[in-house]
Amino acid sequence: MTVAPPAGLAADFELILARAAPLWPRLAGKSLFITGGTGFFGRWLLEALRIANARHALNLRVTVLTRNPAAFGRNAPAILADPAFRFVPGDVRDFAFPTGDFSHVIHAATTSAHETFAGEDPLRKFDTLVVGTRRVLDFAAERGIENLLFTSSGVVYQPLPPPTGGSHTPIPETSLLAPPTHDPASALGQAKRAAEFLCACYAERYGWHLGIARCFSFVGPFLPLDIHYAIGNFIAQALHAERIVVNSDGTALRSYLYAADLVVWLLALLLDGKSGQSCNVGSDAAISIGDLAHLVRELIAPDKAVDILGKAASAVGNPIRNAYIPDITMARNTLGLDVWTDLSTAIRSTARHAANQMTDDDSKEGQQ
């Protein structure tokens, strides 16, 4: 049986199916519980699971916790309508435990990016993640699961000093540098660290295989372009604005893993790797924010200007990070993972999908 992938993304999902080929049989007959399944990460995971389930007759069952199933269904009706998927409404901090047996849990719920960049209260941010993680772990313990994947973040590491002479040092998993506890802006990093600790405690007590994915920066279709992500802002401006604007001096360094690659990484960490070992997830191909803006312009809107305003660096909801690049040696050497999609291809795909979505939305409005 075959099912259609999201429009324009057939090639991406064929690559996901191929690269994760050894993993699919290990999910046959399994039952997954997923939190955060309706965000950027979740949308890609659910689409991949939907397609693989049909292609390989996995008899997979997926239960997704979300605050608003109807809203997600408007954007992803094929997933909502798939009988292998069940959506249960609830808040991760106090959700009612779904009925049934479960073998695997992917815990990706956190405060939304919109909430973070709207200046969410740090205590609420901390509670959502820590209290929510404890609730998910209690559920997993009651259901006797086998595997747990927790999507942590690169914000568990202390912000690095500004790069000198264009050089930078990628952050390894062995780094003991943590964000400062006296800074409320570090709430997400503190909460992710606490959640990692909770996951490790439960995994040891109940004998689960635990994967911890320390996720950095990503790009791809379904990425929100209207919030405080530099790459999303630049793509949106290249498509719709008169010019591309870099508010800072453009010297901060970032790197971006494409969403289709991300799916394979997350599935591998769910099923493989050393249990309890944190693993960086991202690209190690660094690019300055200024160069990123020029690359987006070159690929999408070569006639538009790039303005670098040179304002003092600022951050909303997180500490300022002058360099945010993971060392991914562990993922390469132990799991055979890699950055398969180059940044230019990832940017083009994201922009093309965003433009097509706007065309589709305009067409629907015209029919109303």
What pLDDT, on a 0 to 100 scale, did the predictor assign at position 362? 47
Amino acid symbol at 83: P
**pLDDT at res. 273:** 85
Which residues, including other chains, have CB under 8 Å from residue 234's CB and lie 6 or more apart?
244, 292, 293, 296, 297
The predicted pLDDT at position 316 comes to 55
Domain at 10-225+257-284+325-341, CATH from 3.40.50.1820, 3.10.270.10, 3.40.50.720, 3.10.620.30: 3.40.50.720
Q: How many CB atoms lie within 10 A of CB 175?
A: 15
Domain extent listing, the chain: 10-225+257-284+325-341
Which residues does the chain have with pLDDT short of 50?
A: 362-368
Q: What is the pLDDT of residues 96-124, one digit of tens each?
A: 999 999 999 999 998 766 566 556 789 99
pLDDT score, position 367: 45
Query: In the prediction, which pLDDT does 322 show?
Result: 86
* Environment class of 23 (CB within 10 Å of its CB; exposed 0-12, middle 13-18, buried 19+): middle
Q: What is the pLDDT of residue 166?
A: 61
* CA dist., res. 368 & res. 357, Å (int): 17
Rounded to two decimals, the pTM is: 0.94
- Position 310 scores a pLDDT of 85
Identify the pLDDT of residue 336: 97
Token pair 């570090």 is at which residue? Answer: 186
